[in-house]
Amino acid sequence: MKTMRKRVGILTLAAGFIAASLASSPAPARADVVWDHWQKAESLSSSGDKGGAVPHWVFLADYYASTGEWENAALFCGKLDAYYDALGDYDQAIYYYELENTYWVKAGRDWGAVKLQRADQIRTTVELYKQDRNQSELKQSALPKYGQLAKFEPAYGTYLGMYSEQDPKVGNLFSKTESVYGKKHAINLAYAHWGQSFPATYAKRAKEAGGALQIAWEPDDGLDPVSDGTYLRKWAQDAKAAGIPIFLRFAGEMNGAWVKWHGNPAQYIAKFRMLHDVFAEEAPNVAMVWSPGDVPANDIDPYYPGDAYVDWVGVSLYIEPYENGDPSLPSMLPTSSVERLTRLYNTYSDRKPLMLSETGVPHYSHAAQEDFTEWAKLNLQRLYEIMPYKYPRLKAITYFNVDQQMENAKNDYSLSDSSEIQAYYRQMIANPYLLSKVADAAKPADGVGYVPVDANHQSFTKQTKFIPFVKIPEVYIGKIAYVLNGRVIATQSELPYGLMLRAGEVPEGSVLQLKVYNQAGTQVALRTFGISSQVSVEINGKEQQFEQPPVIRNGSTLTPLRAIFEAMGAKVEYDAATKTVTAHKGSTTVRLTIGQKTVYVNGKSSELEEPAQLVNGFTLAPARFVGETFGGEVAWDGSSRTVTIATK
């Protein structure tokens, strides 16, 4: 929303009920043993011995869960999670926070959402992502479940977007964005209101900047006036005439009670579907964006219009140092945008591309008069590096570039108010993975994507960048140490985090450890990842892609024979009965047999340092022999583990 509405949390709503429930005792009909545990727990807790009360709370939580009395079970889990949280035993606290939420859900209440939020705040996370150039795999990971890209959806990569109208350095002259922030933005955000004409000026300026337009179209008088007629048809026709891609976000944040179009999901769905049909008929350059707020989470799904009527799923998702900008409320610093997206992503990403239709990270709290530059930088890296890699179906991010002053959230989200934040944002968005142009099946110009480092994604060629996602309960990270095969190769205490490794530094079967320290210098996390490098082959400067990559055998580099011979213009034949390969190019004929060191070039024998071998059904032979046989010049770069072949 252009003016961020205050969002009431559920903690206050639940407090009265919880207090009343705990004040009451179990009914007399219950077993004496239950009453005894209850009384002992109350006595110990009241005397300050909460640790002594723990076994009794555990008994009571388990007992009430076994009898299906979910509210009481949840209440005693609440005692346990609060105790362990205060103690700093975060693993136990997370267990009971999640269990408490489960019991509230079983009781038909949504009061556990705030407990899940706290569990995420204190959860230690250490993940690792790396660059990858496997185009087919990158595209596959970013496809929906049924393999069909939506309107204007990139093949992989994430559109860069911004709401800049209140940015004094850009305003609504979108063409200034590149000079201020170093890069064109694919999507420009504008607001429109039902009853007003199509925002043609904004569309014109987006077109001049080479961008698309996201329009947040808001029915300020509610949904009743929204109908098919002359006004809507003219609006749609003007949208088509704009001649640019338009992402139409109609009546966003409909799940929140702070908007007038909240409260009637059936009516909302009917209106959204009607609009979809009109724009499908009148303006094929319009993609329909269904965009709730990330809270309240339990009110999102009833408003979904259906897959046939939604092109993109968006979300308004903000984080801030204090809830609603109020320093008297608990700190929200341990919350990041990453986990806030998980539920919506898991629900809809199989079907639709996702966009952060509004998002922001403040660097200053006006209400508290506190600077949060380091916190903002930490979370800007998470927003623009971690989230697109962790969520490959997240295809657009639109930043809400506004200083809220003392209105509503009371936070400064502006990127240009701080030279340090402006420079850091420029650094973050320079990544080609963040796309500057909307087009069907768009992709990064450098062909590079990012994948999690796991059992299926460990190897790389030449060199690659590793990006860690580290989150600790203490929020601020003191240092990250990178330990490769038992040796510390780098430490980082400054943002942004990331490490470039060359293939020659990483032999097959390597182990990379991330050791995380808090600002007090205490190690608080450790995670181990398997990584390996592979030999790469370049022919005349072009890196080759093989189904079977090269391997090292007894110190010799074996490369795919057929693929390289054919790339050099030779014809290759294979006799399976004799396991013999014969290749011809011009006046040269080569013959070799799998498992034998002797090869014949035009009938003249010579010896290989390592015999040709079958690896996963592919014939591999020593790189120098393969490259030089038909006149190529072969060189080896050990730092990048690259075989280069230059043909004459």
Residue 252's contacts (CB-CB under 8 Å, 6 or more residues apart) are 1, 216, 218, 289, 291, 292, 293, 314, 316, 357, 358
DSSP assignment of 266-280 equals: HHHHHHHHHHHHHHH
Q: What is the Cα–Cα distance from 588 to 145, expressed in whole angstroms?
A: 50
Two structure tokens written together for 261: 């179009």
Environment class of 63 (CB within 10 Å of its CB; exposed 0-12, middle 13-18, buried 19+):
buried
Dihedral of alpha carbons 226, 229, 231, 234, sign: positive
Residue 330's contacts (CB-CB under 8 Å, 6 or more residues apart) are 322, 323
Residue at 344: amino acid letter: L
Two structure tokens written together for 445: 């110009």
Two structure tokens written together for 622: 């020593």
* Catalytic pick among 100, 218, 358, 385: 358
**Cα dist. 93→15, 120, 142, 298 in Å?**
19, 11, 35, 23
Environment class of 502 (CB within 10 Å of its CB; exposed 0-12, middle 13-18, buried 19+):
middle
* Catalytic pick among 100, 127, 253, 320: 253
Q: What is the Cα–Cα distance from 310 to 287, expressed in whole angstroms?
A: 8
Short-list 346, 385, 433, 435, CA closest to 145: 346
Half-sphere exposure in the Cβ direction for 240 (13 Å, CA): 12
Neighbour count for residue 137 (Cβ, 10 Å): 15
Contact 393, 144 (CB under 8 A): yes
Query: What is the residue whose two structure tokens read 């200053």?
Result: 364
Strands of the sheet with 125-132, listed across from one edge:
449-452, 125-132, 463-471, 499-502
> Is 358 among the residues known to form the active site?
yes
**Cα dist. 628→518, 569, 631, 645 in Å?**
54, 13, 5, 8
Q: What is the Cα–Cα distance from 480 to 497, expressed in whole angstroms?
A: 8
Q: What length does the chain have?
A: 648
Q: What is the Cα–Cα distance from 502 to 464, expressed in whole angstroms?
A: 7
Tell me which H or E stretch contains 559.
strand 556-560
Instruction: Provide the annotated active-site residues.
Output: 253, 358
